[in-house]
Amino acid sequence: MTRKENQAARARAHFPAFDLPAPSPTHAADALTPFHQLIKRLSETYGPSGSEEAVRELARAEIKGLADQIRVDAFGNLIALRKGAGNRRKKIMVTAPLDEPGVMVTFLDARGFARFGMLGAVKPLTLPGARCQFENGVIGVFGRETRGAADTEKDADAFFLDVGATSAQDAPVRIGDAACLVGEFRAAGNLLCGKALSGRARGAILIETLRRLKRATHDVYCVFTVQSQVGARGAGAAAFALQPDYAFVLDATPAQDFPGGDTNLALGKGPAILAQDEKMIASAAARQVLLEATRQTQTPYQIQAHARGGGEGAPIQAAREGTVTGALGLPVRYLHTQSEMVDARDVANIIEILTSVFAAKTL
């Protein structure tokens, strides 16, 4: 053996993995289905709370021809009505958000660094080193002050945005500009991952349900809501206008089937029927409708009993004389980060359940 060969053999001995066959891939890198392509497009579109125009136009184009009436209300909610044909038809409202969590520039300092505030439940700890994108395409990088870092891990005031400027004057963004997080859409088997995914997957569910729904028994109002991340501001207004008999909120359920998670909700085990969230206890009658639909469609489900997440249910339930309101949660890992992760089977199961509710003979 030459000296060289000898070295190579020793290297193999030290790094035996080099000689092992590669493990079989757990997920085939399939091409995306058209439906998953829609989710990808929605996920990658810019739309922090208050700047939902692009997402709304995308959704509006997708539902063209799938509804009997389409309108945008004073708040900016996109509302699509599919008329029902049943004799004992009810008015059903279903919501999914258009907006996503993001940040807004609140101040530009002399060196061109931007301070920002949160639009929705963005967690400061997830930000340093991450990127955001403004409507005009400008990319910002999140940074955190190092002075007194121990105290500032959670203090949003200690974070800043670097937009590549050298002064307040040459900054490519202005006070009041909003940005969304940057996170490329990826699919691995049933797992879908991307920014804004929890919300946009729910939007895609409404679109796909409208597409697949052949014949509705009930009058179905699909409401793509604005400003959901900043306190469910659009949903209550829509409920006031529509006065539905039943409302079903498509919600995001924090799945914590990861090391050290503290709830027992998981991805892929079916959508969560909410017993409650932080601000609402779901109406018993609406829960029954959802349970019945899971029975009819033989879909798995979980129950969210933890008072987590404040969705759009509360203001809808409280509208006018009261709306019977239920919530169906799409389980999501890493909620409100640039890498929200959902399971495509849960997405598909929600479509099954909604379709069954809309076509149910009686509610």
Partner 1 sequence: MLLEKLSNARGVSGDEGAVRALITAHLRKYVDEYRIDALGNVLALKRASRRGASRVPFKLLIAAHMDEVGLLVTHIDRDGALQFEKIGGIDDRVLPAQSVLVGKHATPGVIGLKPRHLTTASERAQVVPADALRIDIGATSREDALRVVAPGAYATFATTFRAFGDNCVRGKALDDRAGCALLCELARENFPFDLYAAFTTQEEIGLRGARVAGHALAPDAALVLEATICDDSPKSREQSPTTRLGAGPALTLADGGLLAHKALARLLAETAQEHKLPFQYKQPLVGGTDAGALHRARAGVPSAVISIPARYIHSPAAVISLDDFGNALKLARAALPRIPDLDF
Partner 2 sequence: MPTLTDTLAKLSAAPGVSGHENAVRALLVREFQKLADTVEITPLGSVIGILRAQTTRGPRAARPKSSAAPRLLVEAHMDQIGLIVTDIQDGFIRFEEIGYWDSRVLPSQNVLVHGKKTLPGVIGARPPHVLAAAERKRPLALAELFIDLGLSDARARELVSVGDVITLDRALLSLQNEMVASQALDNRAGLAALLEFLRHMQDTPRAWDIYAVANVNEEDSPLYVGAQTAAYAIQPHIAICLDVTHARQVGLSDDALPEAGQGPGIARGANVHPFVFDKLRQAARRRALPHQITVYGSDTETNAWIMQVTGDGIPTGLVEIPLRYMHSAVETIALSDIARAAELLQEFAAQLNADDARALRGETFVRAPARRARAKRRR
Sites of contact with partner 1 (CB under 8 A) = 49-50, 73-75, 104-107, 109-110, 115, 117-119, 157, 175-176, 227, 230-231, 233-234, 236-238, 240-241
- Determine the Cα–Cα distance for residues 339 and 320; give it in Å rounded to an integer: 38
Residue 221 C-beta: closest distance to partner 2, Å: 17
Give how far Cα 87 sits from Cα of 90, 118, 167, 217, 218, Å. Answer: 9, 47, 66, 8, 9
Residue 238: name its binding partner from partner 2, partner 1, none (Cβ under 5 to 8 Å by kind).
partner 1
Residues 290, 356: Cα–Cα separation, whole Å:
9
- Minimum separation from the CB atom of position 318 to partner 2 (A): 4
For residue 214, the partner it binds in partner 2, partner 1, none, with Cβ less than 5 to 8 A by kind, is none
Integer Cα distance of 61 and 126 in angstroms: 34
Does 282 engage in binding with partner 2 (CB under 8 A)?
yes
Smallest distance, Å, CB 306 to partner 2? 6
Cα(231)–Cα(37) distance, integer angstroms: 29
Pick between residue 43 and residue 323 the one whose CB is nearest to partner 2.
Answer: 323
Q: Tell me how long the chain is.
A: 363
Answer for which of 264, 288, 296, 297 binds partner 2 (CB under 8 A) is: 264
Segment (H or E) for 79: strand 78-82
List 209, 225, 227, 283, residue binding partner 2 (CB under 8 A): 283
> What is the distance between the alpha carbons of residues 316 and 183, in angstroms, rounded to a whole number?
31
Please, which residue, 176 or 260, has the CB nearer to partner 2?
260
3-state secondary structure of 48: strand
Task: Based on the shown chain and the rule CB under 8 A, indicate whether residue 361 belongs to the binding site for partner 2.
Answer: no
Nearer residue to partner 1 within complex by CB, 45 or 51:
51
276 CA to centre of own chain = 19
Q: Which residues contact 82 (CB under 8 A, 6 or more apart)?
A: 66, 67, 68, 210, 213, 216, 219, 220, 222, 358
Of the chain, the end-to-end C-alpha distance in Å amounts to 81
SS3 assignment for 124-178: HHHCCCCEEEECCCCEEEEEECCCCHHHHCCCHHHEEEECCCCCCCCCCCCCCCE
Minimum distance of partner 1 from residue 102's CB (angstroms): 11
104 has which bridge partners?
A: 117, 178
Q: Which does 106 bind (CB under 5 to 8 A by kind): partner 1, partner 2, none?
A: partner 1
Q: Identify which of residues 63 and 282 has a Cβ nearer to partner 2 in the complex.
A: 282
* Site stretch for partner 2 (CB under 8 A), options 111-119, 186-194, 317-325, 354-362: 317-325
CB atoms within 10 A of CB 292: 15
The residue within the footprint of partner 2, chosen from 132, 314, 347, 353 (CB under 8 A), is 314
Task: Pick between residue 21 and residue 148 the one whose CB is nearest to partner 1.
Answer: 148
The verdict on 303 binding partner 2 (CB under 8 A) reads: yes
Query: Is 144 one of the binding residues for partner 2 (CB under 8 A)?
Result: no
Considering the rule CB under 8 A, would residue 261 count as an interface residue with partner 2? no
Binds 140: which of partner 2, partner 1, none (CB < 5-8 Å by kind): none
Binding flag, residue 228, partner 2 (CB under 8 A): no
**Given the complex with partner 1, which of 153 and 184 has the nearer CB atom?**
153
